[in-house]
Structure 1
Amino acid sequence: MSRSVEPLVVERVIGEVIDSFNPCTKMIVTYNSNKLVFNGHEFYPSAVVSKPRVEVQGGDMRSFFTLVRTGLTLSWEFHRREIISYESPKPSIGIHRFVFVLFKQKRRQAVVVPSSRDHFNTRQFAEENELGLPVAAVYFNAQRETAARRR
């Protein structure tokens, strides 16, 4: 097992969200230009309110990607065409896991966006849009913060 997917297996991202895959593209996710997302890192929702910057290393100007963030689908043509606007994490109770999954499209294609975020299934979405296995994934955890902590 590759060291890069080990945290995804331990936290059951591989298994619950996506199937096992071989990471072949580097994806860097940052919030507010300085909060780098690492597998298992915990952020307070107030730290991830703004839309993240997602950098994909690998591919060329003809490469097309679809980015899914647990229940939120973004399709990017070499980084920048957004289908659904960003929705910041708002966990009400407990710790919530937020996963970014990157798929490389076989060709330029429009993806079928689900009508609802309720019961979104990343595997089913990938299958319906013929995306294949992911090329990169990273996750972070967030939990509700108290009013005192937001100040």
Structure 2
Amino acid sequence: MTSKSVCLLLTFVYVVAFVESVDIGKMEKGEIVPDVIDKIPSEVLKVIYPSGASVELGNELTPTQVKDEPITVNWTADPNTFYTVAMVDPDAPSREDPKLREVLHWLVGNVKGGDVENGEVIAGYRGSGPPQGTGLHRYVFLVYQQNGKIDFKEKKIDSRSREGRLNFSIRKFAVNYSLGQPVAGNYYQAQFDDYVPILQSQTIQ
């Protein structure tokens, strides 16, 4: 490889790193820091839904688009390392009055090497269901690197159930299991649409 090629490669790597750094900074602008976490993760988590909708650092999606569990959740994962993947809503019942912060929408632990599908489901995926008239809610995805396989003590939560989801704190959960700061993250925003009453009708307590 010529010196010119090396320079071009290094420039490309720098530009990509700079652009990703600027992008992930949107989590701070969206006040994910400090509302949910204390520090911005270094990597943007790639999340795509069966509807084709993708999570793009604060873009608006509809509850209809995100009603099913994501089919793609990608980050730079070590194949021999375990991770925890979480999704929370800090804006319940509204961003102006977040007295139910946070609502837990998804929690999967002991994810080995990025294989979310075969991780340990602690809380089954529950799509966005913001009440009518409460405006936009933020839905935050976070990935934590575990120190090893964990024996989680939490009661398992069915995807249709609201039990154990309200007033959840991913901060406290991370402290309890020594997860440190998240290594990857992303978020979207959503507000009420016609799918929300359907989601509520399928809910069990």
Instruction: Report if TM-score (shorter chain) is over 0.5.
Output: yes
Query: Does 1:38 pair with 2:56?
Result: yes
Q: What is the aligned partner in structure 1 of residue 147 from structure 2? A: 106
TM-score normalized with structure 2 length: 0.64
**Structure with higher strand content:** 1
| Letter matched to residue 38 of structure 1 | E
- Name the SS for the 1:73 alignment partner: strand
Is the 2:139–2:187 contact (alpha carbons within 8 Å) kept by the matching residues of 1?
yes
Partner SS state of residue 68, structure 1: strand
Q: Distance in 2 between matches of 1:83 and 1:44?
A: 25
1:18 corresponds in structure 2 to 37
Q: 2:112 aligns with which of 66, 77, 81?
A: 77
Supply the AA of the counterpart residue of 1:74. V
Does structure 2 conserve the Cα–Cα contact (< 8 Å) formed by 1:112 and 1:129?
A: no
User: 1-side partners of 2:83 and 2:148: how far apart?
Assistant: 9
Percent of aligned pairs with the same amino acid = 26
Q: Which runs of 5+ in 2 are unaligned?
A: 1-17, 89-103, 156-162, 196-205
Counterpart in the other structure of 1:87: 126
Distance 1:48 1:31 in 2: 6
Partner of 1:140: 188
Query: What CA distance in whole angstroms lies between the structure 2 residues aligned with 1:137 and 1:57?
Result: 9
Which protein has the larger Cα radius of gyration, Structure 1 or Structure 2?
2
Offset, 1:14: 1.3
What TM-score, normalized by structure 1, do the two folds share?
Answer: 0.85
C-alpha distance in structure 1 between counterparts of 2:52 and 2:140, whole Å: 19
Partner amino acid, structure 1, of 2:75: Q
More helix by share: 2
CA distance in 2, matches of 1:38, 1:106: 29
CA RMSD of aligned residues (A): 2.2
